[in-house]
Structure 1
């Protein structure tokens, strides 16, 4: 019996010693410089990754479900807003179609001529600035559209920001544009612009006919009633007289004062268009070019 205990004790010692040697060998193997993982490490990582994926998928599903539930209210509100916007669009589209049809019928009943029907059917062409004349008295620019492109003297020229000037001379391939900054009511060769306020077309009327170089603003004169005009109103061309197209932005109201003789009012208009560093222009073709 004593021999048996000694034998078992020796075996345990032997197994413990072999385990310690194996442990040290594995540590030395794994801690050494190497590029690839050992198969035990690969097995361990794959096992841990598999277990993590088992727990991650349901956890992420539950988290996503909770997030979807929390977003359900906002989605419902957004859906309601879209429905309202769609109903407004449908209503406005039907209303505009009805107005258009009524307008056509009124034209027919009033025996409108083709010229009257096409009065405001403007077309537009893009032009590039080729040169600038910085004469302070008669500042002009030259663009690369001319008579071969259908351009005529008097056509309005604008930038993407607003009205810039009118065509004063035309050659075959180029045209000269006289800028609005040269406007002067005292000059008999200077044409005024019939103007109104955007959204108040039936309430406001005046003539933009002078540019004040000191203030850098247009003067809109002959306003009979200023009660409907307000600071920051957008001033646009009214199209009355036919010299300038209807609805082109000129600027914004910055001040309103009593006119020279106290009978009318004058509004100071800050231009929306820049008159320096112009590169691209838009020529407004009047309907007669289409005939």
Structure 2
């Protein structure tokens, strides 16, 4: 019995001391006890030691995530940039093709070509053999294409049909012409009523210009004058633009005048062409066609 009372007394005294300590620590004080200072500093040091590696690790993880995000964004931007480049190239090609088709249409509807049968065709292949300088078009004898017909673009003449099969034809370009395939031409003299005649007899590989040989020596031939087909020989229609004179010089014997002509059409970039039948359409046939339509 005595022991129970003693225990109860000790518990009560302990509670009173604890409550007193709690009340003492909760009151507003300017200074902390030594124990509180020690505990407070110890906890601060422990938190600093623990927080530094955590903050360092967190920073590394965040940097890795940021690098990954930047890498993904760069990949997306590169993909978008490549798509934009492809769209730009496609747009340029389509624009160029539309301009070329418009030139072909304007040329076909011109008053000059109204007197001839014209066949529109597309270039499907280019000869790998640079010696012959040929291209293949997708029209043949089934469409009325025959050998030796003139072939032009909206800018000017590019050559002639060399061979023709039912569905395709081979075109010999101007840079493949020689004396066996020469063209009778006239040089347009704006200050004179009479044009100068001559022949395209070849192609100068170094100058990348057509070689024009005049029938006689003539000092009126100058740089900048335009060269047209003369129509003589019955192979090509008269008046097809071939090119512009870039250089003039006399031959070694000074008996004739030699000139170098830049083709009006770009022989290295051919997509759509016009084949011209050298036979003139009779006027009666045109009228009958209009009446029947």
TM bracket (short chain): 0.5 to 0.7
Give the counterpart of 2:170 among 155, 176, 182. Answer: 176
Give the counterpart of 1:203 among 178, 195, 200. Answer: 195
The answer for the alignment partner of 2:130 in structure 1 is: 136
* Inter-partner Cα distance in structure 2 for 1:243 and 1:230: 27
1:223 deviates by 3.7
1:286 deviates by 1.7
For each residue in 1:39-65, what CA deviation from the matched residue of structure 2 results, as whole angstroms up to 9, or x when unmatched?
xxxxxxxxxxxxxxxxxxxxxxxxxxx
What TM-score comes out, normalization by structure 2 length?
Answer: 0.54
SS at match of 1:169: strand
The answer for the alignment partner of 2:181 in structure 1 is: 191
The answer for the alignment partner of 2:253 in structure 1 is: 261
The answer for the alignment partner of 2:70 in structure 1 is: none
The answer for the alignment partner of 2:278 in structure 1 is: 286
Q: Work out the number of aligned pairs and report it.
A: 168
1:222 deviates by 2.9
The answer for the alignment partner of 1:226 in structure 2 is: 218
1:202 deviates by 2.2
* Inter-partner Cα distance in structure 2 for 1:176 and 1:201: 38
The answer for the alignment partner of 1:51 in structure 2 is: none
1:139 deviates by 1.9
* Inter-partner Cα distance in structure 1 for 2:131 and 2:202: 13
SS at match of 1:181: helix
Q: CA contact under 8 A between 2:204 and 2:211: conserved in structure 1?
A: yes
For each residue in 1:139-171, what CA deviation from the matched residue of structure 2 results, as whole angstroms up to 9, or x when unmatched?
211111110111111001011111111111111
* Inter-partner Cα distance in structure 1 for 2:200 and 2:225: 15
Q: CA contact under 8 A between 2:217 and 2:250: conserved in structure 1?
A: no
* Inter-partner Cα distance in structure 1 for 2:226 and 2:214: 17
Two-structure CA RMSD over aligned residues (Å) = 2.0
Q: CA contact under 8 A between 2:117 and 2:280: conserved in structure 1?
A: no
The answer for the alignment partner of 1:276 in structure 2 is: 268
The answer for the alignment partner of 1:245 in structure 2 is: 237
Q: CA contact under 8 A between 1:170 and 1:176: conserved in structure 2?
A: yes
* Inter-partner Cα distance in structure 2 for 1:180 and 1:172: 24
Unaligned runs of 5+ in 2: 1-113, 286-293
1:180 deviates by 1.2
From the superposition, tell whether residues 273 and 180 of structure 1 become closer, same or farther in structure 2 (CA, over 3 Å): same
1:226 deviates by 2.1
Q: CA contact under 8 A between 1:204 and 1:225: conserved in structure 2?
A: no
Q: CA contact under 8 A between 1:203 and 1:228: conserved in structure 2?
A: no
Unaligned runs of 5+ in 1: 1-119
The answer for the alignment partner of 1:109 in structure 2 is: none
Q: CA contact under 8 A between 2:181 and 2:201: conserved in structure 1?
A: yes
1:288 deviates by 6.7
For each residue in 1:107-151, what CA deviation from the matched residue of structure 2 results, as whole angstroms up to 9, or x when unmatched?
xxxxxxxxxxxxx94221210111111311112111111101111
* Inter-partner Cα distance in structure 2 for 1:193 and 1:178: 13
Q: CA contact under 8 A between 1:142 and 1:176: conserved in structure 2?
A: yes
1:289 deviates by 8.0
